[in-house]
């Protein structure tokens, strides 16, 4: 008996719908209580479902959409010119409450624009934010936001990101009182730009937030904070720079090790281990990013996602939908905004 319905944009991502259908096959057994609406080109999806013997599966509904948003479509263009795209139809299933959540590996800019347009923000929320879990020392996780939905933010917006992130960390990461920090170029109060300083004042003044102050980039993974707030420009560049560094380190290890064959052999083994552990360190590859602050759950899976990664994004959508994260955020924001008046 289905208690939750999820809409899957089957056409997004670099690797096409086969990745989505493989992830779906796994999700069916993991989540027997979830119903899946698979949105996309029927002619393309039918044989894929048939291959996996899922065509008449009771947990699956196939919903045709005649258009597909490409990875290079500009957000405004796709919004105007592709009203029947699989992405848009999946989002509308959430907007009209047929589905509780939507997962897409499609074009990030288009997804954000369409989600904002279709679902709207929660009452009082200025902007939705792209949020992801990032690894911390001792195997913990923290939420970081915004990661690219908003290249420019004012202090009210960043303050709300702190409130939303704290509620999400409480609900999803199960942290009783999440410690909220602002990412800055120094820990001293005088450092940074005017927006960051004004946001610090707002967070400091709110009784509903455990604000711990500024943190610098070198504390992004140290476990100091449970929620790390920044604008989308800084957040995107910080995490992508880390990806770049991981690539450089692998390159460096590969090219510098010229030693005894026994060492090389161990290095090879170790290198595979490193790569594996670094996959885990690239959260946008192997977990979905949440677009929060909207009237519904929207999970962005990485465009390059394989079936395992898309399955992680589905898992995250189920978790957020079951906990009604949008409802919890709405309540929390209402409470905080009322206290400010």
Q: How many CB atoms lie within 10 A of CB 275?
A: 12
Tell me the β-bridge partners of 286. none
Question: How is 32-65 classified by DSSP, letter by letter?
Answer: TTEEEEEEE-HHHHHHHHHHTT-TT-TTEEEEE-
If the CB atoms of residues 232 and 288 are measured against a second copy, the closer one turns out to be: 232
What is the C-alpha separation between 263 and 82, in angstroms, rounded? 56
Does 190 engage in binding with a second copy (CB under 8 A)? Answer: yes
If the CB atoms of residues 41 and 219 are measured against a second copy, the closer one turns out to be: 219
- Piece of 16-24, 88-96, 226-234, 331-339 that binds a second copy (CB under 8 A): 226-234
Least distance in angstroms from the C-beta of 53 to a second copy: 39
The C-alpha torsion from 53 through 54 and 57 to 61, rounded to 10°, is -150
The C-alpha torsion from 106 through 295 and 169 to 25, rounded to 10°, is -50
Does 264 engage in binding with a second copy (CB under 8 A)? Answer: no
Chain-centre distance for alpha carbon 244? 20
If the CB atoms of residues 201 and 245 are measured against a second copy, the closer one turns out to be: 245
Does 71 engage in binding with a second copy (CB under 8 A)? Answer: no
Dihedral sign from CA coordinates of 131, 134, 136, 141:
positive
Least distance in angstroms from the C-beta of 16 to a second copy: 22
- Piece of 1-9, 56-64, 135-143, 329-337 that binds a second copy (CB under 8 A): 135-143
If the CB atoms of residues 47 and 151 are measured against a second copy, the closer one turns out to be: 151
What is the C-alpha separation between 206 and 301, in angstroms, rounded? 33
Query: Going along 159-301, which residue ranges are E strands?
Result: 179-183, 210-215, 227-229, 289-292, 297-300
Does 239 engage in binding with a second copy (CB under 8 A)? Answer: yes
Least distance in angstroms from the C-beta of 269 to a second copy: 8
Binder of a second copy out of 81, 201, 245, 339 (CB under 8 A): 245
Does 266 engage in binding with a second copy (CB under 8 A)? Answer: yes
Binder of a second copy out of 40, 192, 283, 296 (CB under 8 A): 192
- Per-state percent for the chain, helix, strand, coil, to nearest 5: 50, 20, 35
Which residues are at the interface with a second copy (CB under 8 A)?
A: 74, 109, 135-139, 148, 151-152, 183-186, 188, 190-194, 216-222, 230, 232-234, 236-249, 251-253, 255-257, 263, 266-267, 269-270, 273-274, 277-278, 281
């Amino acid at each position: 008996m289905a208690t939750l319905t999820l809409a899957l944009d089957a056409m997004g991502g670099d690797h096409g719908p086969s990745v989505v259908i493989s992830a779906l096959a796994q999700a069916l057994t993991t989540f027997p209580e979830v119903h899946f609406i698979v949105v996309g080109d029927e002619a393309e999806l039918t044989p894929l479902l048939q291959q996996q013997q899922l065509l008449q599966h009771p947990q699956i509904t196939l919903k045709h959409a005649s258009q597909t948003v490409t990875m290079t479509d500009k957000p405004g263009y796709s919004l105007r010119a592709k009203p029947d795209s699989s992405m848009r139809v999946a989002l509308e299933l959430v907007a009209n409450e047929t589905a509780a959540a939507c997962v897409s590996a499609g074009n990030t800019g288009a997804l954000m624009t369409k989600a904002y347009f279709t679902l709207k923000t929660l009452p009082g929320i200025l902007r939705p934010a792209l949020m992801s879990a990032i690894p911390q020392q001792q195997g913990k996780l923290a939420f970081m936001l915004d990661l690219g939905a908003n290249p420019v933010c004012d202090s009210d917006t960043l303050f709300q990101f702190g409130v939303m992130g704290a509620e999400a960390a409480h609900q999803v990461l199960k942290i009783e009182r999440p410690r909220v920090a602002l990412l800055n170029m120094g820990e001293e109060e005088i450092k940074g730009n005017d927006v960051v300083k004004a946001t610090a004042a707002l967070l400091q003044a709110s009784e509903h937030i455990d604000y711990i102050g500024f943190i610098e980039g070198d504390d992004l993974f140290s476990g100091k904070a449970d929620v790390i707030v920044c604008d989308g420009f800084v957040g995107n560049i910080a995490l992508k720079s880390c990806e770049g560094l991981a690539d450089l380190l692998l390159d460096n290890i590969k090219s510098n090790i010229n030693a005894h064959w026994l060492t090389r052999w161990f290095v090879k083994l170790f290198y595979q281990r490193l790569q594996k552990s670094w996959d885990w360190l690239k959260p946008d590859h192997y977990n979905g990013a949440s677009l929060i602050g909207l009237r519904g759950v929207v999970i962005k899976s990485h465009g390059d996602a394989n079936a395992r990664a898309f399955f992680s994004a589905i898992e995250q959508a189920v978790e957020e939908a079951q906990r009604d994260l949008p409802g919890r955020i709405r309540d929390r924001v209402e409470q905080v905004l009322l206290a400010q008046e």
